[in-house]
Structure 1
C-alpha cells in the first residue's frame, strides 16, 4: 500500500511564531518579517497597480497588459510584499505573476517576476505570425466545462466545495536547451542548461473540483480549452501529511488552553486572531467521513490535564484521556510550528497576518492520512491503521508549511514547482521538529534535535516516509535533478531540493560510499561545508516568501535562493557560496570552490533601532566578518550618505526633527575586487515624553568588548568551545572546572514614567556534572537605588540544556531608580559548568 504520497502531500502552512511579544522583545535577530500589515484599501491598491502599469513600456508591453493584486503579507520592517497576477485584456495569464516589494509610501523597491506574457499581442502582425491572442471569447460555457470535468474525474462524486471555472490565458510551455548546451549529451544536462519558453497561448478555463468519491478525496485542477472543451493539463490538488497534555510522541508537554467558566478548551488565543474560532484550535471530527469531514467542536475538559500518551484504540471514545491524545499531539505541533515561524523569522500564522487556523482530529475511522485544505486553511488528521496517529510534529509542521506556501508563493502543485512546494513543507517540518526538541524557545533553529527524515514516528515499522539527506533510500525519489523530474509525482520530485537543504545546513561527505556523498561536487573540498539549519532556513524562507512565483522551477529556485543568501549575508559570503554548492550537489548549476568565494564579507552585527531624548547622542554601530580586511564604512541617513561618517560607529546629537530617521551602513572589504554589503535599516525615535521603546543596556551583545560592563570583564570575548547567540562575542562565566567566582554588572536607569521595563537575556548552560544535585550556580539579581536587591533567578548545572534559552523578567517595580544588574557565578572544585550569556536587553516603554 503506497500511502506515502497522500500523507506527505499534506499542504499545511508554516505557522507564525511566539506566545507573547514580551518574550522576544529586544532579542529577535535582524531582517525579520514585520508585524501583520493592514489590508490595502481600494485607493492604495489602485495606486500600486498604476505604478506597476507605468513600468510596462520598459518591459516592452502595451496597455492591453495589466496587473491584478491578489494577496499581501509583511516584508522586512518598513516593507510589504504584494503578489500581482499578470493580465491580458483583463484575463489572468496562468503562471505569470510578480512579487512586489514596496515601502510604506508605496514606492516599489523590487520586483521578482515569472514572465510568460511577452508573446501576447492582438496586433495584426502578431496574429498573422501565429502568435498573440486574437480572440478572448469562449466558445463553451463554464457550466459545460465543469460538467465535463466532473463526469470524467468523479462522476458519482459529492462536491465538498462549489466547483469553479476561471477563464484565463494558458501559456503552453516547452523546454528548450540554452545555446551553450546545444550539443550536450542528455545525461550531462544540468538544470541551468534548459529553460522553459512559451510554445503557444490557449484561451482556457481553470476548473477547480473539490469532491469526495466514496472514502477518497478527489481534489483536481484541470486546464480545459475554452474553444473546444479539450483537456490541456491536469493535476491533483490535495496537499497531504498552559495546561499539560500527554502527547504520544513527546511525553508530557505544556499546551496553551482557555478556561471558559469551569471548562477548559483546546483554544490558544495567544497564537493567531480571527479565523473560525478566534485562535488556534483543536476540534473533534469524531469520525466524520474523510470525504466530507466535519471539524466538529473544540475539545473541552473539566481539568487542564489531557491525554494518556497512547495510540488511539479503534472504536473507543474520542473525548476520554485516550481520545484526547490525538488532540494533544495536534495542539503541541501547532503551537511549535507557530512559535518557530514567529520567534525565528517574525512570521505570524500561515499568512503572516496572524490569521488563526485549526486542526480537526479523529477524521474517519482508521484513516491513514493527514492533509491541509486550502479552502478552510485548516488541517485534518486521521488516527491511522497502517500508520499510527498522523499528528507527529514533523507531519504537522509539514502541513502547516503548505499553508505558508498557499499564502505566499502559491507554487503550482504540479511539475517542478509542485516538487518545490512539497520540499518547502518537508523543510518546515524538520525546522519545527528541531526547534521544539530544543525547548521551543529562542530566536534560532538549532542544528540538532531533528532526525532529517519525515514521519518516522508515525510509522509502525520505523521506516520513514522520506529521507532528506538521501531521497533515493525510499526507492522512488531521485537524489538529483534531471530533465524528466517534472514528469514524476510531486512527493518524489521534492527529493533533490530536500537534499539540497540538508547539504546547505549540514554539509556533505567526500566518501563515495556515504549516504551524504554527491558525485556533482567536483571542486575543493569535495565535502562541502554547511552553514547550520538556522541560516539555511532563513535563506530558504526569504526566497519562498519574497521571491518565488507560482511557476518557479529548480533553476529559478537556485537563482532566487542565491539572491536571498546574498541579501542576508553578502555577495561572495560563505553562505552564498554554500547555496551554490548545495544546488550544484543536486545537478542544478555548476560547482564552485569554497576557497575564495566562501569567505566573502558579510554583516556580522546590524545597526539597532534606538530611542533617545532630544539633545542626546544617537549612536549606531555595525560590524562585518569575512572578506579581506581592513573594511571601509559609509553611513546613510534617510537614503543620503552622511559626509565624514566613515567609521564602524556613527554618532550624532539627535534633534526632534530626526524622529523616524532611517539609518543604514555599507561595508566594503579590501579584496582585489572589493565587495560591498549593505546593513539592515535601523530607526531612530526621538521622544521627550518617555513614550516609545528605549534600550537601556549598553553593549548587551558584547560586540563592543567590555564597554558598559564591570566586574570579571575578562569573561567577555570570543572563546573556543562556545558560540555566540548573535554576532561573535559573548560573556563566558564558569567553565573552569575549579573553584571560582565571576561577576558581571551594569547599572541602568528606568524612567519614572515607564509603563513597562522588560529584561531579557539569552543563556546557554552546559556541564560536566551529572545528576540533579546543585554544584555550580549563576544568580541573576537587580539592585535598586533604594538598596533593595531582588533575586530574579538562580540557575545551576541541573538546568543544563542544548542551545540558548531566552529568559524574560519585568523590572517595572524599579521604575524611577538606577538599577544594578548582576550576573554572579560560583563554581565548585571540579567538573565544569559553563554559563554563557548573550543579548542582554532592558527595554522600557
Structure 2
C-alpha cells in the first residue's frame, strides 16, 4: 500500500532542431568559449561527419558559472540522447563538459516501417487512448545509432492519466523505449501552524489564492480555478478542508521558491522565474505532477489532505528536474533519479524553513507527517533499508526497481554529503556500504553541488553520470578546495555507485624536497627546494611547516604558503650549539582537505 501514493513528474517539451550545413553550433558566437570549444574539438563530442549542433541556450548558475546546452542532428534528423552541456567559468574559460552520447553515429536513415505502423505499435502500449501525435522520425543515440519514430500517446492507465512517449524502431517495429511524462511517486506531510503568510491577490472586495509575486502560482479545486473569497483569511486549520490544503500548498511553494533562490541561485522552478498551479481535492490516495499542474489527494482514512511541506516540495522538485538540461524522458534509471530529486529538494526545503518540532522540523524522512496509509513514513534518506526492500547501496538490480524504491541510493548519497556518517546536529547516524566515515558539508552546500549536478544533466542519465557530474560541479563551484570534491566522491563510494568512464579528475597534490639529503656545519645555513604538484584542475593553497628540528636549529620557508604547482625555498639555520648528528626533518604540506609530508635527511657535521 505504501507505493500507491503517486507523486508524478513530467518532462519539458522535446526541442525542435534546426540543422546547419557544417558541424558547428547554429548561431555560434565567434567569442563564446563554449561555442569555440564545440567548433574546435568535435571529437570530444563523439562527432560524425553528418552531425550538426544547435545551441539551445545558456543557464546562469552560482559563482558566475554558465551552462550552455546543445542538441544534435544526424543527417538532418534529431538525435535523441545526443545532447550535451558545456560549463564555462566567470572569466570565460571552459571548465567541463557533460556529454550524453558515448560513441559516434553511423547508420542509414531510410525507415522500413511506415508512420501508420508506428502509430499502431504505440497505441498498443496504453490501455485507454485519447490522442496520438504524428510520428517523428529521429535517431536514438544507442551505440552507432538506432532509427526510430517517436509517438506521443495520451490517455489513461490504471485509472490515472498518461502521456506516453513511445519510441518505435523504424526498421523492426520493436518498442525501443517508452517513457511516461506522468510517473508514479510518493510524498509526505502537511500542517505548518497558524497563522502562516501566503501570497494572495485582492481586487476590490474579492480575494483569490493567486500569488501576486511568484508568476504562475495559484491554488484551487479540481476544476483548475483558484479559490476566491470576500476576505484575505483562508482555511480553518482542519486536515480535511480543501481551502486549508491550499494554504499549506502555497506556504510550501513559497518556501521552496525562496530556498531555490537564496540557497541554490535558481529563480523560479524552471530557472526563468516561473511557477505552476496546484489543485487540491483529488479523490484519490495520491498526489502527482501532470506536466502543467500538481494535484493533491487525501490519506487512505480521509483524515488529511496530502499537502504537507515535503509532499508539495517533492512534487515541485520534479519541475526542477524537468526544466534543467536534458530531455526529461529516458529509461527507468533516470526516473529513479528524478524521484530522488523530489526527495532531495523537499529535504532542502525543510532545512531552509527550519520549523519547530510541533510542525514539520527539518529531517530526512519522507512521509512521516501524513502517514499516508497508516504504516508510517515512506522513505528514510539516512538509512533507506529501514523501509523493507529499499536499497542502501547500488547494485545491478537498482536500475530496474520502481522509482520510489530505487531512489534510496541517491537519497543515501545526498544525506552522507550533507550530514555525514555521524552528525553532531541531532540528525541520525548513517552507516555506509564500505564502512567508511564521512564528515558532511551541510545541507546548503550539498544542495548547491546537487543543483550544479542537475545543470549538467543530459538525456541519458544513469547513477554513474550523476556521480561524474557532481564531482565536476564540486570542482567548478569551489575552486582551490579539495574538501567538497573529496566528500562528493567519498559519498558515492560509500553507496557503491561505480566510477563513470571519463571521470578525469582527482583533487590531490604531492610534495617533494630536493635535494633530500644535505650536510651543514654548526653556525651555518643550508637551503633546499620544496615543490608541489597537483593532478586536480583546481589549484589549492598549501601551508608549509617543518617538524623534528633539533635544539638550536630553525627553519624558514620563502614563501611560507604556496599554491599547488609552485615552489618554496626552505632554509635551515644551524646554531653553533646544535649537536652534531644526522636528523630526519619532516616537511608538512597542510592542504585544504588533506595533508602530505616529505622528509629531509640533514647531517650536522662535527
Place the TM-score, normalised by the shorter chain, in its bin. Answer: 0.7 to 0.9
1:300 aligned to which of 202, 222, 228: 228
Asked whether 1:557 is paired with 2:466, we answer yes
| 3-state DSSP of counterpart to 2:305 | coil
- Do residues 119 (structure 1) and 104 (structure 2) align? yes
Give the SS at the match of 1:7. Answer: coil
Contact preservation (8 Å) 2:245, 2:305? yes
1:284 aligns with 2:194: no
Judge conservation of contact 2:89–2:95 (CA < 8 Å) in 1: no
Instruction: Give matches, 1:336-355, under 5 Å.
Output: 336-355=255-274
Which position in structure 2 is the counterpart of 1:263? 206
Structure 2 counterpart of 1:489: 402
Shift in alpha-carbon separation, 1:539–1:668, aligned structure 2, 3 A: farther
CA distance in 2, matches of 1:475, 1:369: 21
In 2: Cα distance, 1:573 partner to 1:669 partner: 20
Shift of 1:208: 2.6
Between the aligned partners of 1:214 and 1:499, the Cα distance in structure 2 is 31
1:353: how far off? 0.8
2:446 to 514, 536, 549: 536
Change (3 A) 1:10 1:462: farther
Deviation (angstroms), 1:571: 5.5
Equivalences for residues 290-689 of structure 1 within 5 A:
294-295=223-224, 297-312=225-240, 322-363=241-282, 365=283, 367-374=284-291, 376=292, 378-385=293-300, 388-410=304-326, 411-438=328-355, 449-460=361-372, 461=374, 463-509=376-422, 516-521=430-435, 526-545=436-455, 547-570=456-479, 573-589=482-498, 628-629=542-543
Which protein has the bigger strand share?
Answer: 1
Which aligned pairs between 1:150-299 and structure 2 lie closer than 5 A?
A: 150-154=123-127, 156-159=128-131, 163=133, 165-172=135-142, 198=143, 200-213=144-157, 215-240=159-184, 248-272=191-215, 279-285=216-222, 294-295=223-224, 297-299=225-227
Partner of 2:140, secondary structure, is strand
Cα separation, 1, equivalents of 2:567 and 2:281: 59
- For the residue of structure 2 that corresponds to 1:530, the secondary structure is coil
Q: Distance in 2 between matches of 1:667 and 1:265?
A: 62
Structure 1 unmatched runs, 5+: 14-41, 121-131, 173-197, 242-246, 273-278, 286-293, 313-321, 440-447, 591-595, 601-624, 632-645, 649-664, 678-845
Q: Quick one: structure 1 residues 493 and 323, their matched pair in 2 at CA, closer, same or farther if it must change by over 3 Å?
A: closer
Identify the residue that residue 738 of structure 1 maps to in structure 2.
none
Q: What residue in structure 1 maps to residue 77 of structure 2?
A: 91
Quick one: distance in 2 between partners of 1:357 and 1:45?
A: 31
For residues 112 and 301 of structure 2, what CA distance do their matches in structure 1 show?
48
Correspondence for 1:46 among 27, 33, 49:
27
C-alpha spacing 1:569/1:104, structure 2 compared with 1 (3 Å): closer
Deviation string for 1:789-843 (max 9, x for gaps)? xxxxxxxxxxxxxxxxxxxxxxxxxxxxxxxxxxxxxxxxxxxxxxxxxxxxxxx
Counterpart contact for 1:330–1:396, Cα < 8 Å = yes
Q: RMSD of the TM alignment (CA)?
A: 3.9
How is 1:728-743 mapped onto 2 (pairs within 5 angstroms)? none
Per-residue CA distance 1:556-576 (angstroms, 9 max, x = gap): 222221222222334553222
In 2, Cα distance between equivalents of 1:157 and 1:386: 32
Cα deviation for residue 111 of structure 1 reads 5.0
User: How much does 1:9 deviate?
Assistant: 4.3
Distance 1:356 1:235 in 2: 24
Distance 1:64 1:674, change over 3 A: farther
The partner residue of 1:140 within 113, 118, 131 is: 113
Query: 1:222·1:233 contact (CA, 8 Å) conserved in 2?
Result: yes
The 8 Å contact of residues 289 and 295 in structure 2, kept in 1 or not, is answered as yes
**1:428, distance to aligned residue in structure 2 (A):** 0.2
Partner of 1:712: none
Gaps of 5+ in 2: 13-19, 500-505, 511-538, 546-558, 569-586, 594-606
Question: 8 Å contact 1:240–1:399 — kept in the other structure?
Answer: no
For normalisation by structure 1, the TM-score amounts to 0.53
Number of residue pairs aligned between Structure 1 and Structure 2: 500
Q: Partners of 2:44 and 2:444 in 1: how far apart?
A: 39
1:540, CA displacement in angstroms? 1.0
1:465–1:251 CA distance, 2 compared to 1 (3 A) = farther
Alignment match, 1:3: 3
TM-score in terms of structure 2 length: 0.73
- Partners in 2 of 1:95 and 1:116 — Cα distance? 6
Deviation at 1:427, TM superposition (A): 0.4
2:202 & 2:388 partners in 1: Cα distance?
A: 48
C-alpha separation in 2, matches of 1:668 and 1:239: 53
Deviation (angstroms), 1:235: 3.8
DSSP-derived class of the 1:305 partner = coil
Contact 1:518–1:586 (Cα < 8 Å) also in 2: yes
Q: Assess, with a 3 A threshold, how the Cα gap between structure 1 residues 95 and 353 changes in structure 2: closer, same or farther.
A: same
Pick from 73, 94, 102 the counterpart of residue 109 of structure 1: 94
Using a 3 Å threshold, how does the CA distance of structure 1 residues 111 and 66 change in structure 2: closer, same or farther? farther
The alpha-carbon deviation at position 668 of structure 1 amounts to 7.9
From the superposition, tell whether residues 310 and 11 of structure 1 become closer, same or farther in structure 2 (CA, over 3 Å): farther
Give the secondary structure class of the aligned counterpart of 1:119. Answer: coil
Distance (whole Å) between structure 1 residues aligned to residue 431 and residue 72 of structure 2: 42
Preserved contact between residue 479 and residue 496 of structure 1 (Cα < 8 Å):
yes
Cα distance change, pair 328–349 in 1 and its aligned pair in 2 (3 A): same
Q: 1:382 to 1:520 in 2, by over 3 A?
A: same
Superposed CA offset, 1:416-461 (max 9, x none): 322222211110011011212359xxxxxxxx93221112222152
